[in-house]
Amino acid sequence: MLAGCASSSGSGAALADSDVAGEWSQPDSEPRVYLELGEDGALTGSDGCNQLTGTWEVDGTEVDFSDLAATMMACEDVDTWLVGAESATIDGGEMTVLGEGDKEIGTLEKSE
């Protein structure tokens, strides 16, 4: 018989790639704001104006975004906050996106 200690959720629990991979979006946002986090560590998405690409990896309880690049379209009346993403935390189906200095810049929800 095997026994072990594992935490499946809760504050401070290490994330698994399977907790993170998938699509995260702002419901009812128009234009559409989303991140698609591939199981291979690839990141694609849109801030509602610009297309985003990069990579992601789990670092304990956070998700780190690397090599984030975005097109530089000029779009009126579009908040391009997602371009500033550096990392994120996840609590259930909600991703809190953090920018410079670990400041919260927005939230996304896991798409079903």
CATH number for 84: 2.40.128.270
pLDDT of residue 66: 96
Name the domain count of the chain.
1
Q: Is 57 within the bounds of a domain?
A: yes
Q: Is 31 within the bounds of a domain?
A: yes
> How many residues does this entry show for the chain?
112
pLDDT of residue 5: 35
Confidence of residue 75 (pLDDT cuts 50, 70, 90): confident
Of 54, 15, 50, nearest in space to 37 by CA: 54
Q: Is 65 within the bounds of a domain?
A: yes
Question: Which residue range is the domain that position 72 belongs to?
Answer: 17-110
Q: Is 52 within the bounds of a domain?
A: yes
Neighbours of 1 (CB within 10 A): 2
Confidence of residue 8 (pLDDT cuts 50, 70, 90): very low
> What would the pLDDT profile of 91-109 be if each residue is shown by its tens digit?
999 999 999 999 999 999 9
Q: Is 71 within the bounds of a domain?
A: yes
Percentage with pLDDT > 70 across the chain: 89
Q: Is 5 within the bounds of a domain?
A: no
d(CA 17, CA 95): 14
